[in-house]
C-alpha cells in the first residue's frame, strides 16, 4: 500500500487523502528519494510528451520545417485550447504542408472554460485543433511528413513515425514497450505502462544528457529550452505546469499527465521526478510535484512563494471564503 502523499483539509479536519508513489532519481539511476512502490508499471500518459517529441527534433525534422520554439513547446503540451494554442498547432501543420483534417486526436471543446465560451459566443464549434493533444499530434505529423511517411494512421502503434516515437520512449525509460504493456490514450495513440523508477531516471537523463546519444541529448536540451521559454504553450492560463515554469524558468522542466501523473527534470541537480497518485487525482500529483521541487531546489523570493502556493494551494469557495487546503503529507516531509 502506497503512503498518503497529500491531504485535503476542511474545517480543520482531513476531508480527503491521496495515496501514491514518487521517485526522485539521479542521472546514474540512484534513488535520491522514494515513497511507495516505484517498480510497478504505471501509465505515464501525457507526462512523457517531451520524450515522444524527441524524434521530431533529433532527426532534424523540426529544423528543416522551421519550427519555432513555441511550436516545439506545443508539441510537448496538454494545452487549454486557447487561441494561442490553436494558432500554433495550425502553423505547425501548415509547415508540414498539411492542415487540421490530418489530425487524428478527436475533437473536444477547449479545456479552458472561458475559451470554450468565447468560441460558442462567436457562433463557432471546436475543431481537432482545440483538442488538448493537438500540438503533440501536429508534431507527429511534422515528423511523418519530414521522414517521407504518409501521416495517415500515425496514431497506430505500427505507423513508422509512431515506431520511432515509441522507440525513443523505450530507450529513455529503459523499458521494453510492446503490446503486453500497451493501452490506448485519450487521444488514441498508444500509451505504455512503465515503472516510475524508469520514468524518473529517464527525466534525470533528459535534464542532463547523461548516457544519451549526442543527437538525442542535443534534442532534449533544445526541447527543454523551448518549453521553459514558452510555459504558456505547454498548458495555458492558470495551469500548474505553466505557473511552475513561469516561476522557476529553466530550473524546472515539468509535465503532468492524466490519472494523477507528474514528471519533471531538475537539470541543475541532475534529478528526474516521477509521481503517480494511486487514485488518479491530478490535484494531488501537482502538490507532490511542487513539494518535491520545493524540497530539492529550495526556491526563494517570488519563485519560492509561487512554488509554495502550488505545494499548498488554498481552497476557496464561490464566495472566496477560505474553506480548506491541499497539503503534502508526512511521507513527503
Residues within the interface to a second copy (CB under 8 A) = 1, 8, 10-13, 15-19, 41-43, 104-109, 113, 116-121, 123, 131, 181-188, 191, 193, 259-260, 277-281, 284, 317-321, 323-324
Closer CB to a second copy, 101 or 317, in the complex: 317
- CB of 210: closest distance to a second copy in angstroms? 30
- Kindly state the smallest distance separating residue 51's Cβ from a second copy, in Å: 18
Containing 86, the helix (H) or strand (E) segment is helix 83-95
Report the DSSP pairing between strands 271-277 and 253-257. Answer: unpaired
When the beta carbons of 11 and 66 are compared against a second copy, the nearer one is 11
How near is the Cβ of 31 to a second copy at its closest, in Å?
24
Cβ-contact 168, 177 below 8 angstroms: no
Q: What is the DSSP letter of 130?
A: G
Closer Cβ to a second copy, 101 or 301, answer by number? 101
Smallest distance from a second copy to CB 82, Å: 15
Count of residues making up the chain: 333
Q: Which CB, 8 or 61, lies closer to a second copy?
A: 8
Partners of 22 in the β-ladder:
35, 275
Residue 246 is inside which H or E element, if any?
helix 240-248
Q: For a second copy, give the closer residue by CB, 44 or 231.
A: 44
Least spacing, CB of residue 161 vs a second copy, in Å: 18
CB atoms within 10 A of CB 155: 21
Q: Which is nearer to a second copy, 302 or 318 (CB)?
A: 318
Maximum separation of any 2 CA atoms in the chain, in Å = 60
CB-based burial, 246-265: b 16+ in 10 Å, e otherwise: ebbeebbbbbbbbbbbbbbb
In angstroms, give the least distance from the CB of 325 to a second copy.
12
Residue for grid cell 529517464: 202
Amino acid at each position: 500500500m502506497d503512503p498518503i502523499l497529500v491531504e485535503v483539509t476542511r474545517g480543520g479536519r482531513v476531508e480527503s487523502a491521496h495515496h501514491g508513489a514518487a521517485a526522485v532519481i539521479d542521472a546514474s539511476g540512484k534513488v535520491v528519494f522514494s515513497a511507495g512502490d516505484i517498480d510497478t508499471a504505471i501509465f505515464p500518459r501525457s507526462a512523457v510528451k517531451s520524450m515522444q517529441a524527441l524524434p521530431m527534433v533529433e532527426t532534424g525534422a523540426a529544423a528543416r520545417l522551421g519550427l519555432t520554439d513555441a511550436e516545439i513547446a506545443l508539441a510537448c503540451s496538454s494545452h487549454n485550447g486557447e487561441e494561442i494554442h490553436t494558432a500554433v498547432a495550425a502553423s505547425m501543420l501548415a509547415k508540414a504542408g498539411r492542415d487540421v483534417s490530418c489530425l487524428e486526436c478527436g475533437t473536444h471543446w477547449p479545456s479552458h472554460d472561458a475559451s470554450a465560451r468565447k468560441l460558442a459566443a462567436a457562433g463557432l464549434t471546436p475543431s481537432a485543433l482545440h483538442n488538448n493533444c493537438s500540438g503533440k499530434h501536429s508534431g507527429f505529423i511534422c515528423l511523418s511528413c519530414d521522414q517521407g511517411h504518409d501521416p495517415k494512421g500515425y496514431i497506430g502503434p505500427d505507423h513508422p513515425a509512431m515506431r520511432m516515437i515509441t522507440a525513443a520512449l523505450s530507450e529513455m525509460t529503459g523499458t521494453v514497450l510492446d503490446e503486453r504493456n500497451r493501452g490506448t490514450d485519450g487521444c488514441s495513440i498508444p500509451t505504455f505502462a512503465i515503472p516510475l523508477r524508469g520514468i524518473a531516471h529517464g527525466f534525470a537523463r533528459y535534464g542532463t544528457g547523461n548516457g544519451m546519444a549526442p543527437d538525442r541529448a542535443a534534442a532534449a536540451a533544445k526541447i527543454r529550452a523551448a518549453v521553459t521559454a514558452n510555459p504558456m504553450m505547454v498548458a495555458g492560463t492558470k495551469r500548474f505546469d505553466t505557473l511552475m515554469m513561469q516561476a522557476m524558468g529553466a530550473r524546472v522542466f515539468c509535465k503532468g499527465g492524466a490519472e494523477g501523473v507528474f514528471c519533471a527534470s531538475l537539470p541543475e541537480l541532475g534529478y528526474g521526478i516521477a509521481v503517480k497518485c494511486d487514485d488518479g487525482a491530478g490535484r494531488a500529483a501537482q502538490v507532490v510535484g511542487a513539494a518535491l521541487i520545493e524540497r530539492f531546489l529550495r526556491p526563494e523570493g517570488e519563485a519560492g512563494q509561487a512554488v509554495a502556493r502550488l505545494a499548498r494551494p488554498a481552497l476557496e469557495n464561490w464566495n472566496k471564503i477560505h474553506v480548506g487546503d491541499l497539503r503534502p503529507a508526512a511521507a513527503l516531509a
